[in-house]
Structure 1
């Protein structure tokens, strides 16, 4: 793991003081005594020091839940100092777009607050109340559309920051708080759909959701994003923005597309580059494909078989002799017309998938054909995936726990 260079303003003394303050609250020590002892030592606290403190808490054995129970209390103490911290927000970079989403969320929630206040002044039986209540329900449902923001921070920003040794642990707390937000968004939408007006219970859930979401924007804007701005470089931003586009943007118009970076080399130091999502050795790739409980066959743009996997249990006979053979010659004569229709529809772009299911030797098999295209949409082949879905069809309810024996 690469170790980042900490800015000269970083203070071990402040990070230690914040750790002692936070751990003291978790341990149940007197709050006033903690405040009087450590607050004077926290003037000038920086985002980096907050993250280092969070790392130390988790590595010292404090659980995420215990940290979450005290985080708002501690955050209230250090917010004034964090607001004074100066950092440069670069227009158009990855962090900028995350902050734009937070600004848009804040505006949306301000509009929701106006509607909530308006409802308190209307008769519940009036047409006006019903109209405002309906609009408010739409506003709460729209909060579901903020999900791409959390997905980008968790699945793109966090992995980039975890390359820097100070960031891996405390980001787990942020992710857990994101999950809390998701749960309460579901809760309030269910409650509003089941009610005709805002009652005490609905107001309670709304208050909890507003606090969670707005306090998260503070944590991101005052801690995570400024620290990220210190760490990320131009290449990081370019890579992240490309990945952001794949997930989508929340509450803002997406930025204009930029020219793609130079195509990375397919192989690097004995590894195959899997597009932009990682590197695998040939052995890892082969073993991974053969571990999947499916038959996979790839046919290139010239209708020639180029690859098939070797799972433990095959459904159809395959031999290395088929490599290089025309796919039409690998099927019985009465299937050739169907094969040609599928391939030609994939090639000309009319279709991108075809599915069949059959009974074979007491098993229900799902056979899927998918068009494979390059990043310009040019057809480069077809992949066939066959799976035994006999047991899958019988699944009911949920299974969330591991039930291994021994």
Structure 2
């Protein structure tokens, strides 16, 4: 099943692409280790040796992420053969570290050659057998799952590899991904899109810089939000009250006309703006209809737009101090 693998076709961040990036680092460190005299450059040798021993992360990624995925595809060879090779190299690292600590530098030189030879032999087997066959057996989804698990183990590389698959900006209107929810649905209700608890809904409505009042199809007030800076004060006594009694007598006629046209279906929105206590207030009424276009009430929305009306030009930068 041996074959040549063209890594140039692999996207950045792909697990196999990362293995090849690590291979370059391993070869560099291995050559530096061979060229370093432990007798006269013991500290330099020790530093390079420690860096090279981080190859353990590579072993762990293969053993815990790649090999199990290959087993699912029916290929058990890497788990049985290459894992043993890993363990042999681990033992060589352990013995070499012991001889370093004992300052047995003559034996360190001999064992270094033996260790590097084993590492290069492993790299050759990976490149000629393991990775080409893995690419044939595993799907892109398999590789994505492999990469997810690798995040917890880590890499030899000095910097975290690029994301895989590549994270591209997707406009919210085009994002149709079905995601696993990272929050509990306990005590929540499902709205048009998404889930919220009663507390979250109340907090959202209370935070919005709008006065909202909902009048049902029977002209009874059933809701208003308790914003801290309401334009028009309200009290709990209006809940259940007919909307005609919630407006000054001079404006009742206008309100009733709006309700009449909304119920007939001839209008869906009415807008007004008034000066109130030195502020410009924008008042809007919206007909509420169900999916069958049946009238279900009206929403009255009031907003102080004084500062909004004075906006000019653009502001694209955050100007917090």
Q: Residues 352 and 27 of structure 1: is their aligned pair in 2 closer, same or farther, counting only changes over 3 Å? A: farther
TM-score computed with the length of structure 1 as normaliser: 0.43
Q: Is the 8 A contact 2:14 2:165 kept in 1?
A: no
Give every structure 1 segment of 4 or more consecutive aligned residues whose post-TM-superposition deviation is greater than 6 Å: 26-30, 33-37
Aligned match of 1:333 in 244, 249, 259? 249
Partner residue, 2:188:
271
Matched, 1:21 2:17: yes
Question: How many Å apart are 1:269 and its aligned residue?
Answer: 5.7
Inter-partner Cα distance in structure 2 for 1:301 and 1:52: 52
Q: Does structure 2 conserve the Cα–Cα contact (< 8 Å) formed by 1:305 and 1:325?
A: yes
Tell me the CA shift for residue 385 of structure 1: 1.1
User: Normalization by structure 2: what TM-score?
Assistant: 0.53
Offset of residue 376 of structure 1: 1.5
Check if 1:48 corresponds to 2:141.
Answer: yes
Q: Give the 3 Å change call, closer, same or farther, for CA 378–19 of structure 1 in structure 2.
A: same
Higher relative contact order (CA 8 A, sep 6+): 2
- The aligned counterpart of 2:202 is 286
The root-mean-square deviation of aligned C-alpha atoms, in Å, is 3.7
From the superposition, tell whether residues 150 and 294 of structure 1 become closer, same or farther in structure 2 (CA, over 3 Å): closer
Question: What's the counterpart of residue 233 of structure 1?
Answer: none
2:31 aligns to what? none
Larger radius of gyration: 2
| Shift, 1:314, TM fit | 1.3
1:308 positional shift: 0.8
Partner of 2:301: 385
2: CA distance between counterparts of 1:63 and 1:281? 37
Question: Within 2, Cα distance between the matches of 1:318 and 1:67?
Answer: 52
Report the Cα offset of residue 68 of structure 1.
5.0
Deviation of residue 46 (structure 1)?
0.8
Q: Structure 1, residues 8-56: CA drift from partner, whole Å, max 9, x if none? A: xxxxxxxxx95031464699889xx998684453113313123225546
Shift of 1:386: 1.0
Unaligned runs of 5+ in 2: 1-12, 28-123, 155-159
Is 2:213–2:300's contact at 8 Å kept on the other side of the alignment?
A: yes
Q: Please name the residue that 2:56 is paired with.
A: none
- Sort the Cα spacing of 1:284 and 1:62 in 2 relative to 1 into closer, same or farther, 3 A: same
What is residue 267 of structure 2 aligned with on the other side? 351
3-state SS in 1 of match to 2:256 = helix
Q: Residues 273 and 67 (structure 1 numbering): CA distance in 2 closer, same or farther, change over 3 Å?
A: closer
1:336-369: CA deviations, max 9, x gaps?
Answer: 2211121111112111111111221222111111
Whether contact under 8 Å (2:279, 2:304) holds in the other structure is yes
Matches within 5 A, 1:386-401: 386-401=302-317
CA shift in 2, pair 1:151/1:310, >3 Å: closer
Shift of 1:397: 3.5
Structure 2 residue aligned with 1:361, among 277, 282, 287? Answer: 277
Runs of 5+ consecutive residues of structure 1 not aligned to the other structure: 1-16, 72-148, 166-267
> Residue 231 of structure 1 aligns with which residue?
none
